[in-house]
Structure 1
């Protein structure tokens, strides 16, 4: 039968293991985790042995038939895994049908493949496999679902992400679930349980870099153009992703705009610093930016950040680092005509 990925854990604990389970999908992490669940439940059921067979274009099924008919050295039950690197040829498909017709009740066959084509899922032989066991099609997490998926994963790890932290992490991993898992594991080691701020995300990203994103922030806010571009190129060379830098620029622009607007309306800038939790040693950087250009300049810069975001996401062609460097010039040295806002 066909089952959804969300049903797997429940089915494994509430139903007997079938003769065959087929996992198909293009998301490596979800396929790996589903495989791990099956192996763990198989072990609980007394299936201690494991045989892994790679299926390529020359696979003739003889290894599968031999594994099905033989007993292990110690008489253990076997988990037989077929790792699909190519479609079954005629011989391989015939061997699979032979296995399905007379499965060894002591064994469990697990087939792991990439996403299946619609025509394949309607083939008579495939329907026979599904009738004999479970077919688990695993679909990628859509971009609209990614934020919720990461939030759930972080909460399961004992982490409570602040909204900005979640947004930043989603931009950083860009749909790569393996990367998301690695980042969450890293945050768990660095922070333990509790709140996760955007600053913690940034620290975890740049902790092994020569420069940090905070160095970049201080440089462009204070108007040191030479140091700004040097740090930006250093971060890019060290593998810091463009979305991280864009997020930082956008955040700092919003803070500068809020401070400028408070000043325009004769509000206490010090009260705004206090409310925004901007420490005294960093206040001079923001004050330098406020003196360098009027609020409408920074508002145009913030709007122009959408162009960089579109390029990062592949919606427009070009190198986002070029636009980022031009944006940093516009912030650090607004008198220079380097950026068309």
Structure 2
């Protein structure tokens, strides 16, 4: 089996890689606070090294409890010629011994070793991070996916990588249902990819994850925004009776109304508006259809009522259930009668 070739530093100013496309190098920095993406990046590097060097010797170190000299000892050439993969976690809490050893190493790394460094964020070790970047080694930035558009892009890419189809409304439903934690969202993608015999549609997402609190909140919001007060209230009461928290339900109402408000004042085609607002074009088109049922005054009133409900369910009212019901009623009435 041919030995894996370590990547030499690039002289280009652009040495960034994504967690999806990073490749092994003598030194790779995986930085940023999103642990799930950091783990995926490290898994990818490890799998690629093992693919070309099955007998690779893997060592894991922690930068916070590091003992001086450990790095040099672990990267030293093996008697039997095996390549070395050293994974170092916890750089955000690195001690002085690791900082000193790593600063020396990244300038002259061992040619038959791969060093992968995981930094969870913060200013500790900035001198080392700057040295890695200046040397041209690959840097992966793992930031949290906070916006729905980023999570939608993540789900779409997961299915594309698996050569599986998922409908746009199913992507949206999945993000609504399990998008709070990226690891859960990724697990849900894996489950659907494994179980679906054809493509994935919204009905399948609802079957698997419709009982989640986040999904229930958006069911309430969808019914209210469609002007269907009875359905919105019955869904809301069932959710509350089965232990749902009013806070994410109000958050779902607010999210829907914010999308309408953004689109209502935007000019241009759906793709142009999507680019301006950082939304998916199909979500813009959906909001454009929905906003036709509203007058500006009723939209403003619904936003105000939802903001009041948000404050009330977070402690300003002794009856948060009434606050949510009132907001749902106002929204449904405004949509229906506009």
1:245-299 CA deviation, whole Å, 9 max, x = no partner? Answer: 759x99xxxxxxxxxxxxxxxxxxxxxxxxxxxxxxxxxxxxxxxxxxxx99xx9
Q: Does 1:22 align with 2:29?
A: yes
Q: Does 1:115 align with 2:140?
A: no
Any residues of structure 2 matched to 1:307-322 within 5 Å, and which?
A: 308=306, 318-319=313-314
Using the TM superposition, give the Cα deviation of residue 114 of structure 1 relative to its aligned residue in structure 2, in angstroms.
Answer: 1.3
| Distance (Å, rounded) in 2 between the aligned partners of 1:309 and 1:195 | 35
Runs of 4+ in 1 over 6 A off after TM superposition: 212-217, 222-225, 299-303, 309-312, 329-332
Contact 1:52 1:80 (C-alpha < 8 Å) held by counterparts: yes
Q: Does 1:39 align with 2:46?
A: yes
| Distance (Å, rounded) in 1 between the aligned partners of 2:20 and 2:184 | 23
1:3 aligns with one of 15, 28, 40:
15
1:166 aligns with one of 168, 171, 178:
171
Q: Which residue of 2 aligns with 1:260?
A: none
Contact 1:59 1:89 (C-alpha < 8 Å) held by counterparts: yes
Cα distance change on mapping 1:155 and 1:221 into 2, 3 Å: farther
Using the TM superposition, give the Cα deviation of residue 108 of structure 1 relative to its aligned residue in structure 2, in angstroms.
Answer: 0.8
Cα distance change on mapping 1:243 and 1:184 into 2, 3 Å: farther
| Distance (Å, rounded) in 2 between the aligned partners of 1:192 and 1:303 | 45
Cα distance change on mapping 1:150 and 1:108 into 2, 3 Å: same
Any residues of structure 2 matched to 1:177-188 within 5 Å, and which?
A: 177-188=182-193
| Distance (Å, rounded) in 2 between the aligned partners of 1:64 and 1:179 | 35
Cα distance change on mapping 1:35 and 1:324 into 2, 3 Å: farther
| Distance (Å, rounded) in 1 between the aligned partners of 2:327 and 2:312 | 21
| Distance (Å, rounded) in 1 between the aligned partners of 2:200 and 2:303 | 28
Any residues of structure 2 matched to 1:181-196 within 5 Å, and which?
A: 181-196=186-201
Cα distance change on mapping 1:44 and 1:306 into 2, 3 Å: farther
| Distance (Å, rounded) in 2 between the aligned partners of 1:142 and 1:76 | 42
For the aligned residue pairs, the C-alpha RMSD in angstroms reads 4.9
Q: Which residue of 2 aligns with 1:50?
A: 58
Aligned with 2:192: secondary structure?
Answer: helix
Using the TM superposition, give the Cα deviation of residue 69 of structure 1 relative to its aligned residue in structure 2, in angstroms.
Answer: 2.5
Q: Select between 100-109 and 126-135 the one with higher mean Cα deviation.
A: 126-135
Using the TM superposition, give the Cα deviation of residue 185 of structure 1 relative to its aligned residue in structure 2, in angstroms.
Answer: 2.1
| Distance (Å, rounded) in 2 between the aligned partners of 1:309 and 1:169 | 25
1:62 aligns with one of 65, 69, 72:
69
Contact 1:301 1:327 (C-alpha < 8 Å) held by counterparts: no
Q: Which residue of 2 aligns with 1:277?
A: none
Contact 2:166 2:199 (C-alpha < 8 Å) held by counterparts: yes
1:105-153 CA deviation, whole Å, 9 max, x = no partner? Answer: 2211111111354x955x3784267416323333333514333332333
Aligned with 1:159: secondary structure?
Answer: coil
| Distance (Å, rounded) in 1 between the aligned partners of 2:219 and 2:144 | 36
Contact 2:18 2:141 (C-alpha < 8 Å) held by counterparts: no
Greater radius of gyration (CA): 1
| Distance (Å, rounded) in 2 between the aligned partners of 1:52 and 1:204 | 37
Using the TM superposition, give the Cα deviation of residue 80 of structure 1 relative to its aligned residue in structure 2, in angstroms.
Answer: 0.4
Aligned with 1:60: secondary structure?
Answer: coil
Q: Which residue of 2 aligns with 1:221?
A: 230
1:79-118 CA deviation, whole Å, 9 max, x = no partner? Answer: 001102544333222211343355332211111111354x
Any residues of structure 2 matched to 1:276-315 within 5 Å, and which?
A: 304=302, 308=306
Q: Given the two structures, how large is their TM-score scaled by the length of structure 1?
A: 0.59
Residue segments in structure 2 that go unaligned for 5+ positions in a row: 1-9, 224-228, 258-292, 330-338
